[in-house]
Amino acid sequence: MATLRQVKKRINSVISTRQITKAMEMVAAAKLRKAQMRVMQVRPYSEKLDHILIHLSAAASGELIHPFFEKREVKKQTLVLVTSDSGLCGSFNTNLIAEARRWLIGKSPETAELVLLGKKGNDFFKRRDWPIVRLFDEWNGNLDHAKARDVVDFLTSRFLNGETDQIDMIYAQFISTGRSSNVAVRYLPVERPEISEEQTAHLEYIFEPSPESIFTNLMPRYALTKMITALADNFASEHSTRMTAMSAATKNAGELIDALTLQYNKARQAAITTELLDIVGGAEALKG
């Protein structure tokens, strides 16, 4: 049985741990508020860009020409996996890696490759046989537009040069605080919007300059916006999961402190009772 000193030492250790987890919970909550604002700012822009693309595609009347729309025989596929740089965020990274492993089922290292955003994905896959063509880390849960642009330039360059024929992306889509959903989406080639005849009938655009020039300017911005939206969602989900995990850890630490304190008090009471019995016994012996 643990001594009073050992129990007291453990109580102090758990109290210190609770202070750390509480501080991390507050930091994650502060970062989450900023990340949520960023998601709310990015999503309307992304949705409007989708809306513009649908309208322009409908009005182009078959003149939709841009390399990002080019579908070719898939000989090489690229998976962009977005994870976090640090842990202590529950099953966040585990679920994303599991989604990536499901994507890799039926593929071989000769036909599939990885582009990793975040250290945790790299920590897992660097010990596997899948080729990692590029790692972008040191995000620290913050959306860096310059780094996001570097990612987009790298991916679009590989697609346009024929080094890969299809690029998919797996990330955590932020839904609400404490809730996110892992999604796998096509990044390149861009899916041509499906437009009904009724929608086409109401669109009478005159292109100036030509549709080709407009799409040449629009599609790089579209690709960058989709990447920024995915990263904003993923970072918000990361901070939300970490806040939830640290909140649960803080609660568990409190419950453990209560249990240890009860154990300490019972042991202390038993020790005092034993001492009193020794004293009473000694007194009775002196009387006899």
Dig out the tokens for 150 from the structure: 């570097």
Length of the chain: 288
Residues of 33-53 as b/e, b for ≥16 C-beta within 10 angstroms? eebbebbeebeeebeebeeeb
pLDDT for res 162: 92
Which pLDDT band, with edges at 50, 70 and 90, does 60 fall under?
low
pLDDT for res 255: 95
Which pLDDT band, with edges at 50, 70 and 90, does 174 fall under?
very high
Q: Give the pLDDT mean for 104-111.
A: 94
The answer to whether 172 and 96 have CB atoms below 8 angstroms apart is: yes
Residue 56 above 80 pLDDT?
A: no
pLDDT for res 114: 97
Q: What is the pTM of this model?
A: 0.85
Cα dihedral sign, 156-162-168-169:
negative
Highest mean pLDDT among 71-75, 101-105, 140-144, 209-213: 101-105
Which pLDDT band, with edges at 50, 70 and 90, does 198 fall under?
low
Which is it for strands 166-176 and 132-136: parallel, antiparallel or unpaired? unpaired
The answer to whether 80 and 187 have CB atoms below 8 angstroms apart is: yes
pLDDT tens for residues 207-265? Answer: 677 777 777 888 899 999 999 999 999 999 999 999 999 999 999 999 999 999 998 89
Can the peptide bond before residue 209 be classed as cis, meaning omega within 30 degrees of 0? yes
Of 101 and 71, the one with more pLDDT: 101
Of the chain, the end-to-end C-alpha distance in Å amounts to 35
- Dist CA 59 CA 45 (whole Å): 21
Dig out the tokens for 75 from the structure: 């000989």
- Phi, psi torsion values for 167, nearest 5 degrees: -125, 125
- Dist CA 85 CA 81 (whole Å): 12
Query: Of the candidates 146, 43, 27, which has an alpha carbon nearest to the alpha carbon of residue 88?
Result: 27
Spatial neighbors of 280 by CB under 8 A, at least 6 apart, are none
The answer to whether 172 and 82 have CB atoms below 8 angstroms apart is: yes
Catalytic positions are 89
Query: Of the candidates 182, 178, 181, which has an alpha carbon nearest to the alpha carbon of residue 240?
Result: 178
Dig out the tokens for 264 from the structure: 């300490």
Please state which architecture CATH assigns to domain 40-243: 3-Layer(aba) Sandwich (3.40)
- Biggest CA–CA distance in the chain, Å, is 118
pLDDT for res 227: 96
